[in-house]
Structure 1
């Protein structure tokens, strides 16, 4: 029976192609984070190793950017060449990505250290300060998500990327809450299963974040991109 679809163009084919592409992108993400993975496996999780983790996480920025670029293209065009697109996205804005990522990584590292300190010191004032730091950490991570999504899909100056990230963090509340929800669910899965699971769920998590932030990306293209 002719349903108007050629072979390989049905819903099942689309789903399997997406799964295959996301699997390949996740593999490339893991490979480009092999340094961090090595230290995650070999070191005992401790705040004393924060400097090593900091250095090992430096290549993670371009990896996240490459993943966002590839999945952004997948959502827009409905198909990609995973190998070509991932590594093109990796080198496309490599320097700009590091300029965005390193300050964020430094701030996150400092917040984690301070949060650990206040949690150890058992007093009411320290608990209050710890709670405030936790809120700041969540806001920083939320803004960071927009930084990566915007940097990977548009060509803005670094300061404009930060401005847009903060702007959309507070003006697109639905998308922001959705992103926070996705992150909380991911952290919960990591807690229940293993920290390592984030590397192997990276493609799915990034796809969910990109789909949830699709309206933000469209709004940026509509209002901040010059039409030629």
Structure 2
């Protein structure tokens, strides 16, 4: 996809995310790998509601900024996913979505597998979601924490902060992020009600059938 088409797609998806209340104010950021190995990145302090395609930060394949406004301060987080997941990461989406953040602050949330297997689609699109500890926004240590996962997870939840999801395409990353938020909502709605989870055999069937990363 050309740079121009990617720019338009980033702004279109971002506006949709904002319109549905999945992020707010100037929160959230998106990056997408370009055809020449560079990156397009949403600017720091920008609102998903009003992104300008021409002002997205542009980086070349060597990581040098070649145009646009200053990028999100979460660049170390994005870079960590690209560096550790290789071709499996064509885009990264980070939100401050309400239910995901709520799940991240509850002591009973399993840090090794944030989402219980309530639906097949959360397993298919996300695999196991790891809970990472709290870091100050923009702290390079967030990137180091993602690197420590050695590319084994496509999605993480930052404590007191929000979800980060990598996928091969922008559309896939957006859809997976939305799936994480909806599953977090379902988790909170059914907590204490003894929901019927997918069995281990059912989960493993999904893992095998759809080549899901499940460590």
Q: TM-score, normalised by structure 1?
A: 0.29
Instruction: Identify the structure with the greater strand proportion.
Output: 2
Question: Which is higher, the Rg of structure 1 or of structure 2?
Answer: 1
